[in-house]
A and B are shown apart, each in its own frame.
Chain A
Amino acid sequence: AQSVAQPEDQVNVAEGNPLTVKCTYSVSGNPYLFWYVQYPNRGLQFLLKYITGDNLVKGSYGFEAEFNKSQTSFHLKKPSALVSDSALYFCAVRDSDNFNKFYFGSGTKLNVKP
């Protein structure tokens, strides 16, 4: 069975500092991994995805994610956090048996303080 885990309910970081939001995954085949961001009472916005190739994936708004196969992780990172980055972040994995199914983590709330 496929799944993702986001071990932190909340991450606090000061503006200008680097941020990391953690995600680990479990899949039976090749992992197709995604990060989304959600602002209050809004839908999810796509940030980036890993399919194959370079382990460091660059996405929208200066975010990047590092794929680590040995640790089965796909952590979201940004070198310098902005207050406007404060939101709810979701990691997701695509089902390798049914490409139309995605499994989402429980979400991590990122708080960036000025």
Chain B
Amino acid sequence: DGGITQSPKYLFRKEGQNVTLSCEQNLNHDAMYWYRQDPGQGLRLIYYSQIVNDFQKGDIAEGYSVSREKKESFPLTVTSAQKNPTAFYLCASSRAGAGVGMSTDTQYFGPGTRLTVL
């Protein structure tokens, strides 16, 4: 059963804590992404990775960090520097890596993690 899994589904964070959101895919996709979703604002890109051991900042990377040590995994850490972390976080993947020929590939999304700051 192929797909993208995210855990946990719900996460609560106290002020000043770092938390890590998990994203795993078994689709053999090269590229992985993290988005943040706030009501009425659509999705905003936090970080993306085209290949193992490489990642780039998206539009709202401040206060977040990622790693890509394995092709299947792309965990996101929400640090205490992120002042307004309450949101719905979505992980996605696609076949597209750095190759131009992959430009038509689709992103596939995980079920999301809802993070709430207490």
Interface string of B90-107 (1 = CB under 8 A from A): 101010111010111011
Give the residue of B31, B102, B110 whose beta carbon is less than 8 angstroms from that of A43: B110
Q: How many A residues touch B, CB cutoff 8 Å?
A: 22
Interface string of A14-44 (1 = CB under 8 A from B): 0000000000000000001010100001111
Query: How far apart sit A43 and B90, CA to CA, in the bound complex (Å)?
Result: 7
Question: What A residues does B103 contact at CB under 8 A?
Answer: 32, 94, 99
A41-B112, A41-B114, A100-B31 known; A46 vs B42 contact (CB < 8 Å): no
Which residues of B are interface residues toward A (Cβ below 8 A)?
4, 6, 31, 33, 35, 40-45, 48, 50, 56, 58, 88, 90, 92, 94, 96-98, 100, 102-104, 106-112, 114
Least CB distance, B61 to chain A, in whole angstroms: 13
B40 close to A104 (CB less than 8 A)? no
**Total A-B residue pairs with C-beta atoms closer than 8 Å?**
62
A69 near B: Cβ within 8 Å?
A: no
Least CB distance, B73 to chain A, in whole angstroms: 17
Question: What B residues does A102 contact at CB under 8 A?
Answer: 33, 45, 107
A32-B103, A45-B109 known; A100 vs B48 contact (CB < 8 Å): yes
Least CB distance, B22 to chain A, in whole angstroms: 14
Query: How far apart sit A83 and B112, CA to CA, in the bound complex (Å)?
Result: 24
Question: What B residues does A105 contact at CB under 8 A?
Answer: 42
Query: How far apart sit A99 and B88, CA to CA, in the bound complex (Å)?
Result: 24
Query: How far apart sit A52 and B97, CA to CA, in the bound complex (Å)?
Result: 21
Query: How far apart sit A36 and B42, CA to CA, in the bound complex (Å)?
Result: 11
